[in-house]
Structure 1
Amino acid sequence: MDFAVSFSFLLLFMIMLTMWDGVQSFKPSGWTKASATFYGGGDASGTMGGACGYGNLFTNKYGTRTAALSTALFNDGNACGQCYKIMCDYKSDPKWCIKGVSVTITATNFCPPNYALPNDNGGWCNPPRQHFDMAQPAWEKIGLYHAGIIPILYQRVACKKHGGVRFSINGREYFELVLVTNVGGSGSIDAIWIKGGSSDWAAMSRNWGANWQSNAHLNGQSISFKVRTSDGQTLVFPDVVPSNWGFGQTFSSHLQFT
């Protein structure tokens, strides 16, 4: 192979690498105005569980930097796992905002509407209002406790996670309920496929929050997953679950979204 051909192959490889990197990296959004309150107590103990199904937020590596999203943001659970950079809008409320500080949170819960109260006086999570009910420790990074509610600016950002994506399998025979946690990149999932060691790929459906279901009978088979995040990234997790798996177990992969 002469120099010209070698150079052409190298150039093509670099172009393909650039295109791949552009597709695979989650791009942050612009800044949007919203509002924020807090819940869960100073130790965030009241934030455990929630509408995304993450259970113990400490065990599942979400900690105290979390929030419940209003109807307009939660999107029927499609926003579960998404990450947002939030800062208090100091120009709008210098009395209660902490200036120049931001905090990044993960969406782990739903803030239900309260139609008995108006949107601007207690019904903070009523549609179409964009609102974050943040874990108290996260909220206090950007606002003063006695404010109760503050105006904010938020930006959706990439979720940066340690380790790989995790799969927790619950359910019973002929019914697998899979909770997917520790998802990086866009943080949220819009499609999952499941495959047993001796079966074909089958699409799963969202049961609730970050829980996805399959009606296959996969007992005694190793299990693979194909996961597509909300920004279009797709990863295959081959045989991430060994054939001797049991319901109630969690399995960690070595792969992660960016």
Structure 2
Amino acid sequence: MAGTNVYSVFIVFCLILVLERANGQSNGWMAGHATYYGASQNPTSLGGACGYDNTFHAGFGVDTAALSGALFRGGEACGACFQLTCDAHQDPKWCLRGTAVTITATNFCPPNNNGGWCDLPRQHFDMSLPAFSKIARVGSEGIIPVLYRRVPCRRTGGVRFTLKGQSNFNLVMVTNVGGSGDVRAAWIKGSKSSVWVAMHRNWGVNWQSNMDVRNQALSFKLTLADGKTLQFSNAVPSTWRFGETFTSQNQFT
């Protein structure tokens, strides 16, 4: 009787695993697909729809990917980190077993609205070749099944603020963000004011405010998609100029 009970528990456990895989989930993993963009393209210079000028300057190197619309969410996912592994159960030929890579979302994979891999509601990653090569063999097939999940972004150094724009049009590129990585809301405050002014997303990781803050030290406040908020007091000195990048002393963890 005891043996029968153990066998029954085992059968139930197997059924749960089967159902999880059928639903595209297993211990937090979701099912999707991935491709890679051409080897002739330099991933360090592809800021794409997120607006990064250079992925090394932004703090995360070459392990990047463009996301389908279901994941990109109009740019809200820019800077988010995903861990991917090739699903060897579905594709033993091209997958590298026991490997995984963590990528940063830097671009948008546009749909063709004709059954393409980046059409809604597909969960798709168009990966840089270096990132793709860590989980799959590069061959003529080009499309692999993957399992993916959101993971915290591990960054070295502080959050970086690159100042763009002119006079009363300020565009601040926010990069090297740890924690969940994707910024949901941003505020700016000049040293001549005690009021935090909400910025709005101009595009990707570029946040805009219509106020003249020249010759003022600048502070920023950021809220990430996971709800964490961090304040960066006097992150930029009053001697700043457009085009310069400044690094904070603190970081999301």
Q: TM-score range with shorter-chain normalisation?
A: 0.7 to 0.9
- Structure 2 counterpart of 1:257, one-letter code: F
- Structure 2 counterpart of 1:176, one-letter code: N
CA contact (8 A) 1:44 1:136 kept: no
Q: How far has the Cα of 1:144 moved from its partner?
A: 1.3
Q: How far has the Cα of 1:59 moved from its partner?
A: 2.5
Q: How far has the Cα of 1:107 moved from its partner?
A: 0.3
Q: Which is worse superposed, 49-58 or 230-239?
A: 49-58
CA contact (8 A) 2:43 2:64 kept: no
CA contact (8 A) 2:43 2:55 kept: no
Number of the residue aligned with 1:48: 46
Q: How far has the Cα of 1:61 moved from its partner?
A: 2.3
- Structure 2 counterpart of 1:256, one-letter code: Q
CA contact (8 A) 2:44 2:62 kept: no
- Structure 1 counterpart of 2:249, one-letter code: H
Q: How far has the Cα of 1:55 moved from its partner?
A: 1.3
1:204 to 178, 196, 199: 199
Aligned-partner Cα distance in 2 for 1:222–1:57: 27
Matched, 1:222 2:217: yes
Number of the residue aligned with 2:111: 113
Report the TM-score when normalising by structure 2.
0.86
2:125 to 122, 126, 132: 132
Q: How far has the Cα of 1:161 moved from its partner?
A: 0.2
Number of the residue aligned with 1:252: 247
Q: How many residues in Structure 1 have an aligned counterpart in Structure 2?
A: 225
SS in 2 for 1:76: helix
CA contact (8 A) 2:28 2:149 kept: yes
Q: How far has the Cα of 1:221 moved from its partner?
A: 0.8
Matched, 1:160 2:190: no
Deviations 1:40-81 (A, max 9, x none): 416744862211011111222221100000000000000000
Q: How far has the Cα of 1:254 moved from its partner?
A: 1.0
CA contact (8 A) 1:83 1:158 kept: yes
Aligned-partner Cα distance in 2 for 1:148–1:65: 17
- Structure 2 counterpart of 1:191, one-letter code: A
Deviations 1:173-231 (A, max 9, x none): 00110000000000000011100001211100000000000001101111100111110
Number of the residue aligned with 2:36: 38
Aligned-partner Cα distance in 1 for 2:79–2:142: 25
- Structure 2 counterpart of 1:239, one-letter code: N
Gaps of 5+ in 2: 1-26
Number of the residue aligned with 2:60: 62
- Structure 1 counterpart of 2:122, one-letter code: R
CA contact (8 A) 1:42 1:136 kept: no
2:72 to 69, 74, 78: 74
Q: How far has the Cα of 1:30 moved from its partner?
A: 1.3
Q: How many percent identity over aligned positions?
A: 56
CA contact (8 A) 1:240 1:253 kept: yes
Q: What is the root-mean-square deviation in Å for CA atoms of aligned residues?
A: 1.4
Gaps of 5+ in 1: 1-28
Matched, 1:179 2:177: no
Number of the residue aligned with 2:82: 84
Moved >6 Å (runs of 4+): none
Report the TM-score when normalising by structure 1.
0.84
Deviations 1:110-143 (A, max 9, x none): 000112x42xxxx110111010000011001111
- Structure 2 counterpart of 1:128, one-letter code: P
Aligned-partner Cα distance in 1 for 2:34–2:87: 11
SS in 2 for 1:145: coil
